[in-house]
Amino acid sequence: MKEKILQFGEGGFLRGFADWMLQIVNEQTDFDGSVVVIQPIREGLCDVLSAQGCTYTHVMRGAEGVETKKIDVISRCVKPYDDFGKYLALAENPGFRFVISNTTEAGIAFSANDKFKDAPANSFPGKLTQLLKKRYDLGLPGFVFLPCELIDQNGENLKKCVLQYADLWTLGDGFKTWIEKENIFCNTLVDRINTGYPKGEEIDVGFADKMLNTSEYFHLWVIEGYAGLCDEIPFDKCGLNVIITDKLEMYRTRKVRILNAAHTSLVPYALLSGFDTVKSCMDDPVMREHLRKCVFEEIIPTLDLPKEELLAYADSVLTRFENPYIRHMLSSIALNSVSKFKVRVLPSILEYIKRFDKMPETLLFSFAKLIDFYRTEMTNDDADVTAFMKTATVSEILSNTALWDTDLSFLKDEIEKYVNQ
């Protein structure tokens, strides 16, 4: 296979998401492309991966069943901290077209302490700028960037960091123009629960696979602003859930308002009722019906994507919540529930009232349970928020614009019906 893709990150997510997809693309089309993995930090898994020929097994598990796939799309690993020259030499290959990354949410960040002469720069964008400068000096074309870090406008933020380093290191206007005109930084949205190496389990894959990786079945990659992507990597010919769009924000809103809001509207009520995991709630008729009403009757009617698409996505969310292989603790989801409720659930409440001129009873019941929850010792939030919520009246809570960015006093009568019930 031809080396076509540079990948910053060797962790379980990219190996169970992008590399898994590229494996399928290679099997079902004539793409014939391989990945060179770059270890973005000093300590990592590249030695283990290299020791088994960069081949590993990925196992998808869920309510849908179990499916195993051998992944051999990675050709080799490069470790900039061990051999910086070998890393920079990657810039010399004109065949590289795409750069994929997952360096955690904190990875796309600028540091004024990085120096161009560092071998390598400490930050991911700093290392990337060093590679890009070498490529520019060689007169080669730029890249298409597909960052998978979980931040808004990840592509735009990565580009911003690169240009900041260009200024900091005085790399010249010509280089900056090349960055702007010859490189494409796509904003993306990724969605898949990757459960990593199955510690404590015995899964027979035919060999001692130290890089064995597991995930749920569901996967989604929304890529903004590069209409020709599937002409180069034919995701669309393989049945993969890759969406190319010029309106990524709609899909981010769909994820936040349905998937994330489903969690947030469920968790306080469930914890107060003695449940401990998402799966245990899905197995209970009362909790499941509460969740179904929130999502299908009060959230989906406030969204503007095609109804069939919203219903299909919501059905997939419930299937994911039923996954017997994922022990998703409600207590972990409950972290910072007030701010999560404001972002994930409150917009649906306000939009429902605006569109239908009536109250969304199930979501307001969830709001009441949020208030009840903060009067217990189970919360995990900012100390000031916790102290206020614990003792304030419903009126004081709803009128606190610092919490909600608006005065919600008009909800008082409806919410008070459900508090302490």
Rg (CA), the chain: 24
Strand partners, 69: 58
Structural domain boundaries in the chain: 2-246, 249-416
CATH of domain 2-246: 3.40.50.720
The sheet with strand 213-215 has its strands ordered as 65-71, 56-62, 213-215, 194-196
- Cα–Cα–Cα angle for 207, 211, 213, nearest 5°? 100
pLDDT of residue 202 exceeding 90, the answer is: no
Per-residue pLDDT, 101: 98
The whole-angstrom separation of Cα 69 and Cα 189 is: 24
Query: Strands 56-62 and 33-38, how do they pair?
Result: unpaired
pLDDT, one tens digit per residue, over 311-342 is 999 999 999 999 999 999 999 999 999 999 99
Q: Is 124 helix (H, G, I), strand (E, B) or coil?
A: helix
> For residues 337 and 344, what is the distance between their CA atoms, to the nearest angstrom?
10
What mean pLDDT do residues 59-75 have?
A: 96
In angstroms, the Cα distances linking 345 to 34, 245, 281, 378 are 42, 25, 19, 20
Q: What is the distance of C-alpha 162 from the center of its chain? A: 22
Q: Which residues pair with 222 in a beta bridge?
A: 189, 243
Tell me: cis bond preceding 120? Omega within 30 of 0 counts: yes
Contact 75, 37 (CB under 8 A): no
| Residue 112 in tokens | 């004024």
Residue 104 pLDDT grade (very low, low, confident, very high; cuts 50, 70, 90): confident
Percent of the chain whose predicted confidence (pLDDT) is above 70: 100
- DSSP one-letter code for 181: H
Q: Which two tokens stand for residue 224?
A: 């903004």
Long-range contacts of 375-379 (CB under 8 A, 24+ apart): 376/272, 378/271, 378/331, 378/334, 379/334, 379/337
What integer best gives the mean pLDDT of the chain?
96
CA 106 to chain centre: 13
Nearest-angstrom CA–CA distance, 303 and 249 = 12
pLDDT for residue 200: 87
pLDDT at 40: 96
Sign of the alpha-carbon torsion through 237, 240, 244, 245:
positive
The pLDDT confidence band at residue 231, using thresholds 50, 70 and 90, is very high
> DSSP letters along 266-323, please?
HHHHHHHTT--BHHHHHTSHHHHHHHHIIIIIIIGGG--S-HHHHHHHHHHHHHHHT-
Cβ(116)–Cβ(21) below 8 Å: no
- For the chain, report the end-to-end CA distance as a whole number of angstroms: 63
- Given a contact cutoff of 8 angstroms between Cβ atoms, the answer to whether 310 and 258 are in contact is yes
3-state secondary structure of 356: helix
> Tokens standing for 97?
């077209």
Residues, the chain, total?
421
Task: Note the pTM of the prediction, 2 decimals.
Answer: 0.90
User: Can you give the pLDDT at residue 370?
Assistant: 98
Q: Which of 155, 161, 154 is nearest to 110 (CA)?
A: 161
Does the pLDDT value for residue 105 go beyond 80? no
Residue 23 · residue 60 · CB < 8 Å: no
Q: Per DSSP, what are the bridge partners of residue 184?
A: 144
What dotted CATH number matches 249-416? 1.10.1040.10
| Residues 289-312: b if buried by 16+ CB within 10 A, e if exposed | ebbebbbbebbbebbeeeeeebee
Tokens of 137: 């000096």
Would you say residue 300 has pLDDT above 80? yes
